[in-house]
Amino acid sequence: MEEYYRFIGLFLILIGWIYTTYRAIVGLKKPMHLPFSILYGLGSFLLFLHSLVLNDLVFMVLNFFATLMPIINIFLLFSRKN
């Protein structure tokens, strides 16, 4: 039963990030600030590596997307400055 909670939690977090990132892409919401995006992205990447060593699929997927979202936000920040 514990496995279901992990995957439901993963799904809910991913849906929230996808929704927020989509709103930033279409211009309904401002992207995250650059320093926050960099720190969040690097921290998530290190946690991804840690979950890879532990072979924990749920946290691998979660931290992979937690790393990807700030990368998208950094791209949006630089693309909208031009």
- CB contact set of 35 (below 8 Å; sequence gap of 6+): none
Average pLDDT for runs of 10 along the chain of length 82: 80 89 84 88 95 94 93 88 60
Please state, in angstroms and as integers, the Cα–Cα distance from residue 52 to each residue in 27, 33, 48, following that order.
Answer: 34, 28, 6
Q: What is the pLDDT of residue 32?
A: 81
Whole-prediction pTM:
0.80
Domains and CATH numbers, the chain: 2-81 (1.20.1280)
- Tokens standing for 60? 């691998």
- CB contact set of 67 (below 8 Å; sequence gap of 6+): 41, 44, 45, 48
* Inter-residue contact 46 to 64 (CB < 8 Å): no
For residues 43 and 52, give the distance between their C-alpha atoms in angstroms, rounded to a whole number: 14
